[in-house]
Chains A and B, each alone.
Chain A
């Protein structure tokens, strides 16, 4: 089971770009990389998912190098409302009982005015 490592916390200011890197050295061939965002007193919310290279949606971008041993979530021009905990997960949910989405401590992002 691929284990992920990400910074415990990060600080930023409004309007800046924030990059959160996740290490997953033993990612398997079939594994996808998925990021979630969690606000206090709410359940996690899916942000973005990718397998290789770059994925972009209306919320964020996800950069994955060729070796796939890490990935970087990029949040452009953050605002105060982006203050949340961000989780990086690797795996393939279609593996059925052999894969359980596992959440670590995540990265606590605080955006300052």
Chain B
């Protein structure tokens, strides 16, 4: 049973380009969370999605950032017109959504904006 898969593992973008981060949840999981982590800091919640629906995007910047979790395929976190401050590790976690179910995390995408 494969775990949460994130790709790419490392992504380098120049300022102004777009970054697309992919997350395939564990089999049977329909809930996806995206977090951002800066060096020496904890994980900051960005967005919570269920299949085809955004449940909570309160942690995501209003501009340039968007997320989706289509009926088929991985969840995508998209950052348009990246800036240096977007450089961070982005982690995705999935859950079946049942009571007490812990999150299962991928190993993240490390985005570097040059």
Chain A interface (Cβ < 8 Å from any Cβ of B): 32, 34, 36, 41-46, 49, 87, 92-94, 96-97, 100-106
- Is B99 an interface residue, CB under 8 A from the partner? yes
Q: Which of A45, A49, A94, A104 contacts B98 (CB 8 A)?
A: A94
- Is B12 an interface residue, CB under 8 A from the partner? no
Given contacts A43-B91, A93-B97, A93-B101, 16 further A-B contacts (CB under 8 A): A41-B89, A42-B107, A43-B93, A44-B103, A44-B105, A45-B105, A46-B103, A49-B100, A94-B97, A94-B98, A96-B55, A97-B56, A101-B103, A103-B35, A103-B42, A105-B41
Q: What is the CB-to-nearest-CB distance from B96 to chain A, in angstroms, rounded to a whole number? A: 9
CB-defined contacts of A45 to chain B, threshold 8 Å: 105
Q: Which of B31, B58, B102, B108 contacts A49 (CB 8 A)?
A: B102
Number of contacting residues on B, CB 8 A? 31
Q: Which of B41, B95, B105 contacts A93 (CB 8 A)?
A: B95
Q: What is the CB-to-nearest-CB distance from B26 to chain A, in angstroms, rounded to a whole number? A: 12
With the chains together, A104 CA to B42 CA distance in Å?
Answer: 5
CB-defined contacts of B56 to chain A, threshold 8 Å: 97, 100
For B68-82 the 0/1 string (1 means CB < 8 A from A) is 000000000000000
- Is B25 an interface residue, CB under 8 A from the partner? no
CB-defined contacts of B93 to chain A, threshold 8 Å: 43-44, 101
- Is B13 an interface residue, CB under 8 A from the partner? no
Q: What is the CB-to-nearest-CB distance from B52 to chain A, in angstroms, rounded to a whole number? A: 15
Quick check: B99 and A43 within 8 Å, CB to CB? no
Q: What is the CB-to-nearest-CB distance from B82 to chain A, in angstroms, rounded to a whole number? A: 21
Those 3 A-B pairs whose CB atoms lie nearest each other, nearest first: A43-B105, A94-B99, A46-B102
